[in-house]
Structure 1
Amino acid sequence: MEKIYVSTRDQNRKMTSKQAILEGISKDGGLYVWPDIDSVQIDLHTICEQSYKENTYTILQPLLPDFSEEELKTCIENAYGHSFSSPDITPVKKVDDVYVLELFHGPTSAFKDVALTLLPQLMSASLKAGDQKAMILTATSGDTGKAALEGFKDVDRIGICVFYPHQKVSQIQYRQMATQQGKNVKVYAIEGNFDDAQSKVKSLFLDEDLRKKAEAQNVILTSANSINIGRLVPQIVYYFESYKYLVNHGAIQLGDPVSFSVPTGNFGDVLAGYYAYMMGLPVKKFYVASNANHVLTDFLTTGVYDRNRAFVQTISPSMDILISSNLERLLYYMSGKDTKLVSQCMSDLSKTGRYQIPDTLLQKIQFLFGCAYLDDKKTKETIATVYQESKVVLDPHSAIAYQVAKDAKERPIVALATASPYKFSQDVLDALHQNSTNELEAMKQLQTICSDPIPKGLKALESQEIRHKEVISVEQMKDVVEKNMEALL
């Protein structure tokens, strides 16, 4: 089998795609990348003539070469055959002069569904070659957790532990995770923020004591975050899909460049767009849209990444992140695959909380990547303005991407809408100068002005039992992982 994936920190650590998906993060702390991904050039004529599922196969087949045609097509059918409320999977809507790519029509009403309906299928197929089991460890700032729980629920030979920051997700996000059913799922609130949870999860993957215990039980420790290449590559597809829409609706000619505005915390979503660009998608500019935790805006402006700052809790909690893990992959490619530079930057970040890249590298990144951020006040103003002018309701994450797109010079531009407004009903109503008593009532109230109905999964939350109530410290995370590994046997 072709070992095309390597670590961002060591070119000599080589993996097949199945091995990379099962391992999640490299043993040296790096992330798996395919150095020659730009050797795959996707034919745009073909993309514009195919369905979403057909395009998924066309794009992923060269990236996952050790999956047979039957395996990959079965995985794609299981993921997208019946899970999405829109037949287009990721439909596009024009709002004023910005095209909005709606990524929230999956089972948990967030963009993570696009990848996390497919990743469990890929992982399950990868496990079939042996007799191992897998334990998924996932930190979430709100949306990944529920999407991963739903995707991996009751999947054979796989268990999942999700860790989210206590009282730092929306009430709907909390209810989605806390009510999760499934015999193989566990959910824990942790005392701290998302970065605390994510940093601990990463350290657990590199914990030799935990690794040995897992190996003794024939268990692989892996991740459902976008640090896992199997989580990242399915997101490439919707960038090509939005391009297909613009071509087929006469907005552009085949070959014309398009720009994108992406609400970003962990950098995975915009990185998937960069992968699409390397695979032949004509892109003029990517705009990295941030909230008040604008560590990425500062980095893309100055070349200094510095997480040593106050953590701000915002109305766009999925972007409340100060350590953007997937930026490591961008540095790898943009630096000419310089694993030494990447390793040094990540070492500096771990030791001092900051690193600085050379000016030449910054200029190269700035040629393709722009940036801007909105605080909560401006985000609410955008929600109100868009509704007043277009009668379209945006959630607080999508509103940030939309406003950054509006302020950009490039046209046409696509803003990624990453969550249903119903997931953040109270904040959306507040932006529209309406009051509500709680999130569940707010959803019903929002339905009176929103053109889309309340998603089925969110509507059911009101009657579902709270099943996961544990609040633990970061230090307790290893203990609960060990306990849940034993339950897998």
Structure 2
Amino acid sequence: MNNFYVSTRDKQVHLTSKEAILKGISDDGGLFVWPDLADVKIDLNRVCQNNYKENAVYILSKLLHDFTKEELEQCVNNAYTDTFASKDITPVRKVGDIYVLELFHGPTSAFKDVALTLLPQLMSVALEKTDQKALILTATSGDTGKAALNGFKDVKNIGIEVFYPDQKVSQMQYRQMASQTGNNLKVLAIKGNFDDAQSKVKELFLDKDLNEFAAEHNVMLTSANSINIGRLVPQIVYYFESYKYLVNHDVIKMNDPVCFSVPTGNFGDVLAGYYAYLMGLPVKKFYVASNANHVLTDFLTTGIYDRNRDFIQTISPSMDILISSNLERLLYYMSNQDTEFVKQCMDDLNQKGKYQIPAQMLEKIQSLFGCGYIDDEATKQVIKETYDSNSVILDPHSAIAYKVAKDACEDVIVSLATASPYKFPQDVLDALGIGSTSEFDAMNKLAEICSDPIPGNLAALQTSKIIHKDVISVKEMEESVKDMVEKFV
């Protein structure tokens, strides 16, 4: 079995998992994938007997081949010991007929915590036998930024710079990032949307002059976005964990297939589920849930990916994305690892803003992936109906997945809840018909009716000081990175 990662755009690229995690993105612009992923078969009986941390070590050992078991155990223990509010890390709650996988009990109240508490540990281990430092460049549509800042804060030999779209994240997301303390980080708002930030960050990773400048200072540029394979693979674990719950609570029998509904913009969260499926998780169908920026719904329906459309700012900002980076990895596997085909699709996307896949491939994808989308008004209606019927409050992203899950009418379906409702309190209260004067007024009112208490990290924002206030243009991002490289050293 080949243990090297390759680029989605060039199969001749060969990196170990540690090298791929540190590099983040391939020099050709492709994403790192492991060709033999489908040859791995996870023992479901073992999964159902293990606790979360044991499953994390077991599953990651199948994917990160040059990490020793001792290294993985150290990373997992550092990441998940006393950092999540739930002892189960990612608990499951039945809401009506839907099983909701709660991924928001981590230190920043979003699903990104599951991976971004672990990625710094993996990166630190990977750096140990090098004499380099790493500077992480991260574009965020809201949640990744804070989770990455929290995970990498003051980590030895690693710096981080986060770019978020000015005025296009929630007030809670803004305060989480703008109040972040730490000696190795920088947070900047950019004039534009998430796609502008993400595209520029990718461009910077591939900028030869910038990388040479960083190398002169003994710094390598890398990513904490889900384009980094080290950020993606930890998310596989909670799909197996949800299956464990269903088996151990006699909802299903071992090897029965289940369905998942996943709110997504960048396709990373649902791709982790697809990876779990390739590794043996019995899945009948994945439902890709989108908001008004439904580029993924259109792609999964027509086979045409077209980002040439208006960008819509919604109450589910983490899904306000028109360029879904991780879809590239799905194309790689669904095309039988045809890197030339993937490269052509990505070139077309870059040059024309669109690409089309063959009908046979679309049929293959549609056999495993369903889709659906709702706009803001429908999202608010779901939030209210779910509360009225089940006394459970969903955040706007989780509500979209819940609605798509209900519409799917599957026997057993798991809907992913990706953020705490306290991160979007005014929009949630508005959906419930309750007025508020500010984000914190809304958060306190929400606490009166929500079964879960205000997460400590969000409650602390009421007295936190705004530290990071700069707003820059996309063109200024490169100079900011150079400045960070010099200061970091």
Task: Using structure 1 for the length normalisation, give the TM-score.
Answer: 0.99
**What letter corresponds to residue 339 of structure 1 in structure 2?**
T
Does residue 167 of the first structure (1) align with residue 167 of the second (2)? Answer: yes
Q: Which residue is equivalent to 2:207? A: 207
Q: Which residue is equivalent to 2:112? A: 112
Hey, what's the Cα distance between the residues in 2 that align with 1:312 and 1:47?
41
Q: Which residue is equivalent to 1:433? A: 433
Q: Which residue is equivalent to 2:69? A: 69
Cα pair 1:103 1:111 within 8 Å, conserved: yes
Alignment of 1:9-48 (within 5 A): 9-48=9-48
SS of the residue 2:398 aligns to: helix
Does residue 243 of the first structure (1) align with residue 237 of the second (2)? Answer: no
Does residue 355 of the first structure (1) align with residue 358 of the second (2)? Answer: no
Hey, what's the Cα distance between the residues in 1 that align with 2:220 and 2:39?
31
Hey, what's the Cα distance between the residues in 2 that align with 1:234 and 1:421?
23
Cα pair 2:292 2:376 within 8 Å, conserved: yes
Hey, what's the Cα distance between the residues in 2 that align with 1:34 and 1:7?
9
Alignment of 1:322-341 (within 5 A): 322-341=322-341
Shift of 1:82: 1.2
Hey, what's the Cα distance between the residues in 2 that align with 1:353 and 1:2?
35
Q: Which residue is equivalent to 2:480? A: 480
Q: Which residue is equivalent to 2:405? A: 405
Q: Which residue is equivalent to 1:54? A: 54
Q: Which residue is equivalent to 1:293? A: 293
Shift of 1:409: 2.6
SS of the residue 2:434 aligns to: coil
Hey, what's the Cα distance between the residues in 2 that align with 1:344 and 1:3?
26
Shift of 1:3: 4.9
SS of the residue 1:197 aligns to: helix
Cα pair 1:35 1:337 within 8 Å, conserved: yes
Hey, what's the Cα distance between the residues in 1 that align with 2:366 and 2:410?
15
- Cα-to-partner distance string for 1:387-426 (whole Å, 9 max, x where unaligned): 0000000000000000000000322000000000000000
- Cα-to-partner distance string for 1:353-374 (whole Å, 9 max, x where unaligned): 0000000000000000000001
How many residues of Structure 1 are paired with residues of Structure 2 in the alignment? 489
Alignment of 1:56-135 (within 5 A): 56-135=56-135
Hey, what's the Cα distance between the residues in 2 that align with 1:487 and 1:131?
18
Shift of 1:241: 0.2
Hey, what's the Cα distance between the residues in 2 that align with 1:3 and 1:234?
18
**What letter corresponds to residue 49 of structure 1 in structure 2?**
Q
SS of the residue 2:414 aligns to: strand
Does residue 280 of the first structure (1) align with residue 261 of the second (2)? Answer: no
Could you tell me which runs of 5 or more consecutive residues in structure 1 were left unpaired when the two chains were aligned: none
Cα pair 1:255 1:282 within 8 Å, conserved: yes
Hey, what's the Cα distance between the residues in 2 that align with 1:334 and 1:52?
30
**What letter corresponds to residue 186 of structure 2 in structure 1?**
K
SS of the residue 2:245 aligns to: helix
Hey, what's the Cα distance between the residues in 1 that align with 2:50 and 2:377?
42
Hey, what's the Cα distance between the residues in 1 that align with 2:193 and 2:167?
9
Alignment of 1:338-487 (within 5 A): 338-487=338-487
Shift of 1:381: 0.3
- Cα-to-partner distance string for 1:272-308 (whole Å, 9 max, x where unaligned): 0000000000000000000000000000000000000
Task: Using structure 2 for the length normalisation, give the TM-score.
Answer: 0.99
SS of the residue 1:161 aligns to: strand
Cα pair 2:8 2:32 within 8 Å, conserved: yes
Hey, what's the Cα distance between the residues in 1 that align with 2:388 and 2:2?
54
Cα pair 1:166 1:189 within 8 Å, conserved: yes
SS of the residue 1:346 aligns to: helix
Q: Which runs of 4+ in 1 moved over 3 A?
A: none
Hey, what's the Cα distance between the residues in 1 that align with 2:381 and 2:393?
12
**What letter corresponds to residue 264 of structure 1 in structure 2?**
T
**What letter corresponds to residue 247 of structure 1 in structure 2?**
V
Percent identity (aligned): 70
SS of the residue 2:449 aligns to: coil
SS of the residue 2:209 aligns to: helix
**What letter corresponds to residue 68 of structure 1 in structure 2?**
T
**More displaced 10-residue stretch of structure 1: 210-219 or 185-194:** 210-219
Hey, what's the Cα distance between the residues in 2 that align with 1:387 and 1:57?
37
Cα pair 2:3 2:65 within 8 Å, conserved: no
Shift of 1:2: 7.2
**What letter corresponds to residue 59 of structure 2 in structure 1?**
I
Cα pair 1:32 1:228 within 8 Å, conserved: yes
**What letter corresponds to residue 473 of structure 2 in structure 1?**
S
Shift of 1:28: 0.3
Q: Structure 1's 2 and 72: CA in aligned 2 closer, same or farther, altered over 3 A?
A: farther
Shift of 1:487: 1.0
Hey, what's the Cα distance between the residues in 1 that align with 2:230 and 2:402?
28
Hey, what's the Cα distance between the residues in 1 that align with 2:12 and 2:305?
27
Cα pair 1:2 1:16 within 8 Å, conserved: no
Cα pair 2:292 2:312 within 8 Å, conserved: yes
Q: Which residue is equivalent to 1:5? A: 5
Could you tell me which runs of 5 or more consecutive residues in structure 2 were left unpaired when the two chains were aligned: none
